[in-house]
Amino acid sequence: MKYRTMANVGKNLSLLGFGCMRLPVIDGADAHIDEAKAIQMIRDGIDCGINYIDTAYMYHGGNSEVVVGKALKDGYREKVWLADKLAAWYAKEPEDLDTIFEEQLRRLDDDYIDLYLIHNIDEANWKRVLRLGVIDFVKQLKEDGKIGHYGFSFHGSSAAFFKEVLDYTDWEFCQIQFNYMDTHIQAGLEGLLYAGEKGIPVVVMEPLKGGKLIDELPPTVQAYFDQLGSTRSPVDWALSWVADFPEVMTILSGMNTPQQLVENIDILSVSEPNSMSDEELQILENAAAEYNKLIRYGCTKCQYCMPCAVGINIPTIIDYLNQYSQYAGSEKIVNDFKMFIQPTRKVPSTCVQCGKCEDACPQHLKIMTAMSESAAIFEQGENNAR
Ligand SMILES: NC(=O)c1ccc[n+]([C@@H]2O[C@H](COP(=O)([O-])OP(=O)(O)OC[C@H]3O[C@@H](n4cnc5c(N)ncnc54)[C@H](OP(=O)(O)O)[C@@H]3O)[C@@H](O)[C@H]2O)c1
């Protein structure tokens, strides 16, 4: 296993971190973790040198923390940095933050979290974080000796907003979504480099875009990877590309089979920063461009179409539709969509075809058609009356 130094605190972290959001489950039920298998995999990973374990309050319906706690018994806790995340959106009042934190410790059966992140900062959550004083709360936890270091995970809409959050306080680390397809969304490459300039260690999530970059590749994308006679697998291409950035400290992958664990350990046991050749980097750039040709609607997320008259989140639904046509693992996209739409959000079939969005769209996209297509793809078997 390769290690990189978290320079600001002088610790070595494994280049591969174990993301505990996609642990093996029984009967496809997300909350029903296959405990024996998951515990064995986490311990095997640690035995092979992984020392960064990432969980969160909400993963697997709260059971990820419980299983991680169990996996870290029998001497494993001392071998790792345990990262957990505060889901501030469950808090209505500042006092609720402490209730959540104490519940996390109870689930983990622990009294200390090494790396504590404010979870999922986006524009809406950021307002809540500021209103509830969440940053002061995590700093106080550090002063009280309950956590080691504080950071945040980011899913906001732009590098500019990422920089604003990063500059707001003296964060000790951060976590961003980053892979060779996501260089220009969320924090993106610009955000990664900015954090690097500031000396803030970056943990990467979704290096395989949740697995979408390795399911059956479109033939035109595969053709690029077949160039140079390279023997790299799609996983190797994707992980090595992320590891090539010296600004990246740890790469989290959610692994749910022992084979995935072994493969990812093997890849990140040899990856060095700045080691990919220009030809290899070009191949990945070409592959990304090829994937992007499969985008169905050229939405720039300018939001001119919003607000929708009936409350549909048009840009996000178009994004799912585009991903559906880009990635062969389309079942994953349907599942992601269902998770996104679940709480109280409006499904595309509630579109009343008023056309106001199309009038406003500077790209002249056929948004009403996109809503009908999305409904047909994503709402099969659903109760569309929500
Ligand atoms: N803070 C946040 O807001 C946030 C958000 C997302 C993730 N995270 C954290 O970051 C971690 C990493 O993100 P991620 O789980 O999306 O990572 P990822 O590595 O992009 O995707 C994981 C998925 O990729 C597939 N996979 C992994 N290794 C493979 C291999 N060797 N061969 C074939 N398939 C492989 C598996 O898909 P299949 O299931 O299809 O086998 C697995 O479920 C998460 O587990 C979580 O801890 C945090």
Give yes or no for a contact between 49 and 14, defined as CB atoms under 8 angstroms apart. Answer: yes
Kindly state if the Cβ of 125 falls inside 6 Å of ligand 1. no
Annotated domain spans of the chain? 3-285, 294-386
85 bridge partner residues:
117
CA 254 to centroid of ligand 1, rounded, Å:
3
Kindly state if the Cβ of 119 falls inside 6 Å of ligand 1. yes
pLDDT at site 384: 37
pLDDT at site 331: 83
Q: Give the tokens for residue 278.
A: 């220009």
Q: What is the bridge-based pairing of β-strands 11-14 and 3-6? A: antiparallel
Kindly state if the Cβ of 186 falls inside 6 Å of ligand 1. no
CATH number for 3-285 (one of 3.40.350.10, 3.20.20.100, 3.50.50.60, 3.40.190.170): it is 3.20.20.100
Give the H/E segment covering residue 152. Answer: strand 147-154
Residue located nearest, by CA, to atom 44 of ligand 1:
19
| Helix, coil or strand: residue 241 | helix
pLDDT at site 344: 65
Kindly state if the Cβ of 212 falls inside 6 Å of ligand 1. no
Q: State phi, psi for 367 to the nearest 5 degrees.
A: -70, -35
Residue located nearest, by CA, to atom 36 of ligand 1:
211
pTM of the complete model: 0.90
Kindly state if the Cβ of 211 falls inside 6 Å of ligand 1. yes
pLDDT at site 355: 95
Contacts of 259 (CB under 8 A, 6+ apart): none
**Average pLDDT per block of 10 residues along the chain, 386 residues long:** 89 96 91 97 98 96 97 98 96 96 98 97 94 98 98 95 98 96 93 97 94 85 85 92 97 96 97 94 93 87 89 93 83 87 82 95 92 92 41
Kindly state if the Cβ of 209 falls inside 6 Å of ligand 1. yes
Beta strands in 191-324 (DSSP E): 202-205, 248-254
pLDDT at site 328: 72
User: pLDDT of 296-348, one tens digit each?
Assistant: 998 878 788 999 999 999 999 999 999 898 887 678 889 889 888 876 678 99
Residue located nearest, by CA, to atom 40 of ligand 1:
211
What atom of ligand 1 comes closest to residue 212's alpha carbon? 24
